[in-house]
Amino acid sequence: MQNILKEQLCLQNDLLCNSQFFHVRCSAHILNLIVQDELKVIGDSFYKIRESVRWNSAYKMLDTAIKYKRSFSSLQLLDTNYKHCPSHEEWVRVEKICDFLMPFNEITKLFSGSTYPTSNLYFRQVWKIEFLLRMNMKNGDPVIKEMACRMKIKFDKYWEQYSFILAMEVVLDPRMKFKLLEFCYKKLDESTYKEKLYVVKNKLYMLFEAYKATSLTATTSSTASTSRCENVIASDDFDFIEYCVQDNVQNGKSVLDVYLDEPHMDMKSYASLDILNFWKDKKHRFGDDGEVEDVPIRVPTESSGA
Protein backbone atom coordinates (compact mmCIF):
# COMPACT_ATOMS: atom_id res chain seq x y z
CA MET A 1 0.00 0.00 0.00
CA GLN A 2 2.74 2.44 0.94
CA ASN A 3 4.55 1.68 -2.34
CA ILE A 4 1.44 2.56 -4.34
CA LEU A 5 0.85 5.73 -2.32
CA LYS A 6 4.50 6.76 -2.61
CA GLU A 7 4.45 6.29 -6.39
CA GLN A 8 1.33 8.46 -6.73
CA LEU A 9 2.76 11.22 -4.52
CA CYS A 10 6.05 11.17 -6.42
CA LEU A 11 4.18 11.62 -9.72
CA GLN A 12 2.61 14.74 -8.22
CA ASN A 13 5.98 15.93 -6.90
CA ASP A 14 4.56 16.02 -3.36
CA LEU A 15 7.40 14.20 -1.55
CA LEU A 16 10.64 15.78 -0.37
CA CYS A 17 14.11 14.31 -0.90
CA ASN A 18 12.98 11.74 -3.46
CA SER A 19 10.63 10.11 -0.88
CA GLN A 20 13.46 8.63 1.21
CA PHE A 21 11.79 9.74 4.47
CA PHE A 22 8.28 8.65 3.51
CA HIS A 23 7.92 5.22 5.10
CA VAL A 24 8.39 4.62 8.83
CA ARG A 25 7.70 1.14 10.16
CA CYS A 26 5.11 0.60 12.90
CA SER A 27 7.22 0.64 16.08
CA ALA A 28 4.81 -1.20 18.38
CA HIS A 29 4.29 -3.92 15.76
CA ILE A 30 8.04 -4.44 15.33
CA LEU A 31 8.46 -4.77 19.10
CA ASN A 32 5.74 -7.40 19.09
CA LEU A 33 7.45 -9.28 16.25
CA ILE A 34 10.79 -9.20 18.08
CA VAL A 35 9.31 -10.61 21.30
CA GLN A 36 6.50 -12.99 20.35
CA ASP A 37 8.31 -15.59 18.22
CA GLU A 38 11.13 -15.95 20.71
CA LEU A 39 8.79 -16.87 23.56
CA LYS A 40 8.81 -20.36 22.06
CA VAL A 41 12.34 -20.71 23.44
CA ILE A 42 10.98 -20.59 27.01
CA GLY A 43 9.42 -24.02 26.60
CA ASP A 44 7.11 -25.78 29.04
CA SER A 45 6.98 -23.08 31.73
CA PHE A 46 5.47 -20.53 29.33
CA TYR A 47 3.16 -23.13 27.79
CA LYS A 48 1.81 -24.19 31.18
CA ILE A 49 0.99 -20.64 32.24
CA ARG A 50 -0.55 -19.81 28.86
CA GLU A 51 -2.76 -22.92 29.07
CA SER A 52 -3.84 -21.92 32.57
CA VAL A 53 -4.40 -18.17 32.00
CA ARG A 54 -4.68 -17.58 28.20
CA TRP A 55 -3.81 -13.88 28.07
CA ASN A 56 -2.67 -12.17 24.87
CA SER A 57 0.04 -10.03 26.50
CA ALA A 58 2.97 -12.30 27.35
CA TYR A 59 4.59 -9.95 29.87
CA LYS A 60 1.36 -9.09 31.73
CA MET A 61 0.40 -12.74 31.80
CA LEU A 62 3.72 -13.82 33.33
CA ASP A 63 3.88 -10.86 35.73
CA THR A 64 0.38 -11.55 37.06
CA ALA A 65 0.90 -15.31 37.20
CA ILE A 66 4.02 -14.84 39.37
CA LYS A 67 1.97 -12.91 41.95
CA TYR A 68 -0.52 -15.77 42.15
CA LYS A 69 1.81 -18.75 41.83
CA ARG A 70 0.55 -20.20 45.13
CA SER A 71 -2.92 -20.33 43.60
CA PHE A 72 -1.56 -22.59 40.85
CA SER A 73 -0.27 -25.02 43.49
CA SER A 74 -3.55 -24.87 45.39
CA LEU A 75 -5.50 -25.62 42.23
CA GLN A 76 -3.27 -28.62 41.55
CA LEU A 77 -4.06 -30.01 45.02
CA LEU A 78 -7.81 -29.42 44.66
CA ASP A 79 -8.26 -30.49 41.04
CA THR A 80 -6.63 -33.72 39.90
CA ASN A 81 -7.47 -32.86 36.29
CA TYR A 82 -5.28 -29.74 36.41
CA LYS A 83 -2.01 -30.73 34.74
CA HIS A 84 -0.36 -27.38 33.95
CA CYS A 85 1.14 -26.25 37.25
CA PRO A 86 4.76 -25.07 36.72
CA SER A 87 7.43 -26.60 38.94
CA HIS A 88 9.57 -24.53 41.34
CA GLU A 89 12.42 -24.46 38.81
CA GLU A 90 10.05 -23.30 36.07
CA TRP A 91 8.76 -20.48 38.27
CA VAL A 92 12.35 -19.32 38.85
CA ARG A 93 12.90 -19.21 35.07
CA VAL A 94 9.60 -17.40 34.51
CA GLU A 95 10.67 -14.69 37.00
CA LYS A 96 13.96 -14.18 35.15
CA ILE A 97 12.18 -14.01 31.79
CA CYS A 98 9.62 -11.56 33.20
CA ASP A 99 12.46 -9.25 34.33
CA PHE A 100 13.97 -9.55 30.85
CA LEU A 101 10.67 -8.66 29.13
CA MET A 102 9.71 -5.77 31.42
CA PRO A 103 11.59 -3.04 29.47
CA PHE A 104 9.93 -4.16 26.23
CA ASN A 105 6.52 -3.77 27.83
CA GLU A 106 7.36 -0.31 29.20
CA ILE A 107 8.67 0.87 25.83
CA THR A 108 5.59 -0.44 24.03
CA LYS A 109 3.37 1.54 26.42
CA LEU A 110 5.53 4.64 25.89
CA PHE A 111 5.29 4.33 22.09
CA SER A 112 1.54 3.89 22.28
CA GLY A 113 0.89 7.12 24.19
CA SER A 114 -1.81 9.35 22.74
CA THR A 115 -1.68 12.45 24.96
CA TYR A 116 1.96 13.45 24.46
CA PRO A 117 4.53 13.60 21.64
CA THR A 118 6.44 10.33 21.24
CA SER A 119 8.55 10.79 18.11
CA ASN A 120 11.33 12.50 20.09
CA LEU A 121 11.40 9.43 22.38
CA TYR A 122 11.81 6.87 19.58
CA PHE A 123 15.58 6.90 19.11
CA ARG A 124 16.52 6.46 22.75
CA GLN A 125 14.00 3.66 23.29
CA VAL A 126 15.12 1.68 20.22
CA TRP A 127 18.70 2.17 21.37
CA LYS A 128 17.76 0.82 24.83
CA ILE A 129 16.33 -2.29 23.21
CA GLU A 130 19.50 -2.91 21.20
CA PHE A 131 21.70 -2.26 24.25
CA LEU A 132 19.57 -4.64 26.36
CA LEU A 133 19.75 -7.38 23.75
CA ARG A 134 23.52 -7.05 23.41
CA MET A 135 23.99 -7.35 27.18
CA ASN A 136 21.74 -10.41 27.45
CA MET A 137 23.47 -12.16 24.57
CA LYS A 138 26.10 -12.85 27.27
CA ASN A 139 23.57 -13.78 29.98
CA GLY A 140 24.47 -16.69 32.25
CA ASP A 141 21.04 -18.24 31.83
CA PRO A 142 21.14 -20.29 28.59
CA VAL A 143 17.44 -19.74 27.82
CA ILE A 144 17.59 -15.95 28.17
CA LYS A 145 20.85 -15.91 26.22
CA GLU A 146 19.24 -17.84 23.37
CA MET A 147 16.19 -15.56 23.46
CA ALA A 148 18.39 -12.44 23.27
CA CYS A 149 20.43 -13.84 20.36
CA ARG A 150 17.31 -14.73 18.38
CA MET A 151 15.67 -11.39 19.17
CA LYS A 152 18.80 -9.53 18.03
CA ILE A 153 18.53 -11.21 14.62
CA LYS A 154 14.92 -10.00 14.35
CA PHE A 155 15.95 -6.55 15.63
CA ASP A 156 18.61 -6.25 12.92
CA LYS A 157 16.09 -7.23 10.26
CA TYR A 158 13.86 -4.26 11.06
CA TRP A 159 15.93 -1.75 13.02
CA GLU A 160 19.60 -2.27 12.17
CA GLN A 161 19.31 1.11 10.48
CA TYR A 162 17.40 3.40 12.87
CA SER A 163 14.76 5.58 11.22
CA PHE A 164 16.53 8.76 10.11
CA ILE A 165 13.43 10.91 10.32
CA LEU A 166 12.78 9.82 13.91
CA ALA A 167 16.45 10.20 14.86
CA MET A 168 16.11 13.81 13.69
CA GLU A 169 13.30 14.29 16.22
CA VAL A 170 15.89 13.78 18.98
CA VAL A 171 18.03 16.54 17.46
CA LEU A 172 14.99 18.84 17.50
CA ASP A 173 14.60 18.27 21.23
CA PRO A 174 16.59 21.21 22.71
CA ARG A 175 17.60 19.09 25.71
CA MET A 176 19.27 16.42 23.56
CA LYS A 177 20.28 17.53 20.04
CA PHE A 178 23.21 15.57 18.59
CA LYS A 179 24.71 14.98 22.05
CA LEU A 180 22.27 12.16 22.81
CA LEU A 181 22.93 10.50 19.44
CA GLU A 182 26.65 10.74 20.09
CA PHE A 183 26.27 9.19 23.56
CA CYS A 184 24.09 6.32 22.32
CA TYR A 185 26.12 5.51 19.21
CA LYS A 186 29.31 5.63 21.25
CA LYS A 187 27.96 3.17 23.85
CA LEU A 188 27.16 0.70 21.07
CA ASP A 189 30.39 1.01 19.09
CA GLU A 190 33.07 3.69 19.50
CA SER A 191 34.63 2.80 16.16
CA THR A 192 31.54 3.71 14.10
CA TYR A 193 29.77 6.45 16.08
CA LYS A 194 31.29 9.37 14.11
CA GLU A 195 30.23 7.87 10.80
CA LYS A 196 26.67 7.32 12.07
CA LEU A 197 26.47 10.88 13.40
CA TYR A 198 27.67 12.22 10.06
CA VAL A 199 24.96 10.31 8.18
CA VAL A 200 22.15 11.63 10.41
CA LYS A 201 23.50 15.21 10.24
CA ASN A 202 23.81 14.98 6.46
CA LYS A 203 20.20 13.74 6.19
CA LEU A 204 18.97 16.49 8.52
CA TYR A 205 20.58 19.24 6.46
CA MET A 206 19.30 17.65 3.26
CA LEU A 207 15.74 17.73 4.60
CA PHE A 208 16.20 21.27 5.93
CA GLU A 209 17.32 22.52 2.51
CA ALA A 210 14.36 20.78 0.85
CA TYR A 211 11.90 22.46 3.23
CA LYS A 212 13.72 25.76 2.82
CA ALA A 213 13.30 25.61 -0.97
CA THR A 214 9.61 24.71 -0.61
CA SER A 215 9.10 27.52 1.93
CA LEU A 216 10.74 30.12 -0.34
CA THR A 217 8.50 29.11 -3.23
CA ALA A 218 5.41 29.32 -1.04
CA THR A 219 6.46 32.70 0.37
CA THR A 220 7.08 34.16 -3.10
CA SER A 221 3.70 32.93 -4.27
CA SER A 222 1.97 34.34 -1.18
CA THR A 223 3.68 37.73 -1.51
CA ALA A 224 2.72 38.03 -5.17
CA SER A 225 -0.95 37.41 -4.39
CA THR A 226 -1.14 39.85 -1.45
CA SER A 227 -3.00 43.07 -2.24
CA ARG A 228 -1.61 46.49 -1.29
CA CYS A 229 -4.27 47.01 1.37
CA GLU A 230 -3.25 43.75 3.08
CA ASN A 231 0.42 44.64 3.18
CA VAL A 232 0.65 46.34 6.57
CA ILE A 233 4.38 45.74 7.18
CA ALA A 234 6.37 48.92 6.71
CA SER A 235 9.22 49.01 4.20
CA ASP A 236 11.77 49.67 6.95
CA ASP A 237 10.58 46.47 8.65
CA PHE A 238 11.37 44.60 5.44
CA ASP A 239 14.79 46.26 5.42
CA PHE A 240 15.46 45.07 8.97
CA ILE A 241 14.33 41.51 8.19
CA GLU A 242 16.59 41.49 5.12
CA TYR A 243 19.47 42.83 7.21
CA CYS A 244 19.07 39.95 9.73
CA VAL A 245 18.94 37.40 6.93
CA GLN A 246 22.05 38.84 5.29
CA ASP A 247 23.88 38.81 8.63
CA ASN A 248 23.28 35.07 8.96
CA VAL A 249 24.27 34.49 5.33
CA GLN A 250 27.51 36.44 5.75
CA ASN A 251 28.35 34.34 8.80
CA GLY A 252 27.53 31.21 6.82
CA LYS A 253 24.81 30.20 9.30
CA SER A 254 21.32 28.94 8.63
CA VAL A 255 18.59 28.90 11.28
CA LEU A 256 19.40 25.21 11.72
CA ASP A 257 23.05 26.12 12.43
CA VAL A 258 21.92 28.75 14.94
CA TYR A 259 19.70 26.25 16.75
CA LEU A 260 22.36 23.54 16.87
CA ASP A 261 25.02 25.99 18.10
CA GLU A 262 22.94 27.09 21.07
CA PRO A 263 23.62 25.38 24.45
CA HIS A 264 21.48 22.42 25.45
CA MET A 265 18.60 23.05 27.80
CA ASP A 266 19.24 21.36 31.12
CA MET A 267 17.56 17.93 31.19
CA LYS A 268 16.78 18.04 34.92
CA SER A 269 15.40 21.58 34.93
CA TYR A 270 13.28 20.96 31.83
CA ALA A 271 12.29 17.33 32.41
CA SER A 272 8.64 18.10 31.63
CA LEU A 273 9.32 20.41 28.70
CA ASP A 274 6.45 20.54 26.19
CA ILE A 275 8.28 20.11 22.88
CA LEU A 276 5.38 21.31 20.75
CA ASN A 277 4.97 24.52 22.76
CA PHE A 278 8.73 25.09 22.64
CA TRP A 279 8.72 25.08 18.83
CA LYS A 280 5.49 27.03 18.65
CA ASP A 281 7.08 29.77 20.78
CA LYS A 282 10.22 29.73 18.61
CA LYS A 283 8.51 29.61 15.20
CA HIS A 284 9.06 33.30 14.39
CA ARG A 285 12.69 33.18 15.40
CA PHE A 286 13.48 30.07 13.39
CA GLY A 287 11.48 31.09 10.33
CA ASP A 288 8.32 28.97 10.57
CA ASP A 289 5.92 30.24 7.89
CA GLY A 290 2.93 28.11 8.84
CA GLU A 291 0.78 27.48 11.85
CA VAL A 292 1.85 24.81 14.31
CA GLU A 293 -0.99 22.43 15.04
CA ASP A 294 -1.67 21.56 18.68
CA VAL A 295 -1.53 17.79 18.12
CA PRO A 296 1.00 15.29 19.42
CA ILE A 297 3.69 14.15 16.99
CA ARG A 298 3.71 10.39 17.40
CA VAL A 299 5.86 7.41 16.67
CA PRO A 300 3.94 5.24 14.16
CA THR A 301 2.03 2.45 15.88
CA GLU A 302 -0.71 0.17 14.66
CA SER A 303 -3.32 2.63 15.90
CA SER A 304 -1.76 5.61 14.12
CA GLY A 305 -0.60 3.89 10.95
CA ALA A 306 2.83 3.70 9.33
List, for residues 46-103, the tens digit of each pLDDT value: 778 877 777 667 788 888 889 988 888 898 888 888 888 888 888 888 898 889 889 8
Q: What are the pLDDT digits (tens) for 265-280?
A: 888 888 888 888 888 8
Q: Which tops the pLDDT comparison, 151 or 294?
A: 151
Q: Which tops the pLDDT comparison, 80 or 214?
A: 80
The candidate with the shortest Cα–Cα distance to 200, out of 165, 172, 173, 176, is: 165
In this prediction, residue 132 has a pLDDT band, given cuts at 50, 70 and 90, of very high
Residue by residue, DSSP assigns 148-191 as HHHHHHHHHHHHSS--HHHHHHHHTSTTTHHHHHHHHHHHH-TT
Q: Which tops the pLDDT comparison, 120 or 200?
A: 200
> Mean pLDDT in the chain?
78
What pLDDT shows up at residue 292?
A: 37
Indicate if the pLDDT at residue 105 is higher than 60.
yes
pTM, full prediction: 0.70
What pLDDT shows up at residue 295?
A: 42
In this prediction, residue 110 has a pLDDT band, given cuts at 50, 70 and 90, of confident
